[in-house]
Amino acid sequence: MTIKTNIEALRDTMAEEMRRDSTIIVTGEDVGPRGGVFRATQGLFDEFGPDRVIDSPLSELSIIAVGIGMALNGLRPICEIQFADFIFPAFYQIVSEASRFHYRSNGQFSVPMLMRAPYGGGISGGLYHSQSIEAFFCHVPGLYVVAPSTPYDIKGLLRASLRSPDPVLFLEHKKAYRLIKGEAPERDYVVPIGKADIKRPGRDLTVISYGLMLHEALRAAEMVAPEGIDAEVVDLRTLAPLDKETILGSVKKTSKAVIVHEDNKTGGLAGEIAAIIAEEAFEYLDGPIARVCAPDVPGVPFSHPMQDFFMPNADKIAAAIRQLAAY
């Protein structure tokens, strides 16, 4: 069994796929000799050279625009946005060009590009280095949004993304880069885009999450287990499209749902998941749908105590589980 951190699984799989497919190009700020601000691309420049690992200007708009041009002309770019917080200058290119090109060309063109973006808080990064940006992009048809939480899923979903004919936004929780370790097989395998995973089976209620919060949800489930509460934990893995079959199957079994994410509560992905459950599994519920999310403030505070107040954690999730289990 091979154990790796999240960032090791990411880096190794990019290298493996670049050896397999000579059309894969990496571009972004400092992705070359420096290996990126988080060292996610470390070693790629030395192995593949400046023609395939290209340092870009400090311009997210041009990183994505150039990537779209590459994808339309036979290449398969990996475009790194150094911090997800700075992806918004490229919003138009992602939403109106990359995501819609296949549709607007009546299937004549596709845009096979991967956009990597480290997101999330908990690292004392403050307002501009801690944001969760997924809800903005999950609203966009034509764009896959994935957020794996383990080394195994990172490897499998990265391969699936790099073999997809469509654009993929690949979200990587920066705090989990070196915090999370797990099995990462050396074999060539793919985790299908659009398929959730039950990380912990249970019978009493369902906890639905992704990214770093998935690990907090697992911790919370273990905290309440001695109290006789058996929580099932669902890892979404893909945020767009959502795996309705797995979500609804779990909720129909347990009759209760707690949805957890680090993003702001209002307009967050938890609201969409709650709507799906209410529309398609209402008669199975025997309690309200609970959400554990960040408060509606403009950003993650820099102050450590305030950051802890902002971030959902295992204690907050366990409290929500206990409250819902009491129904």
Please, what sign has the CA dihedral across residues 161, 100, 27, 176? negative
Cα separations (Å) of 305 from 85, 108, 175, 215, 298? 22, 53, 17, 21, 17
Q: Are strands 168-173 and 257-264 parallel, antiparallel or unpaired?
A: unpaired
The radius of gyration computed from the CA coordinates of the chain, to the nearest angstrom, equals 19
Which residue among 102, 129, 215, 261 is the active-site one? Answer: 129
Q: Which of 299, 223, 289, 214 is nearest to 254 (CA)?
A: 289
Q: How far apart are CA 1 and CA 321, in angstroms?
A: 34
Which among 242, 262, 311, 217 is positioned nearest to 84, based on CA atoms?
262
A 10 A CB-CB count for 5 gives 18
Active site residue 129: yes
Q: Identify whether the C-beta of residue 145 lies closer than 8 Å to the C-beta of residue 169.
A: yes
**Residues tagged active-site:** 129
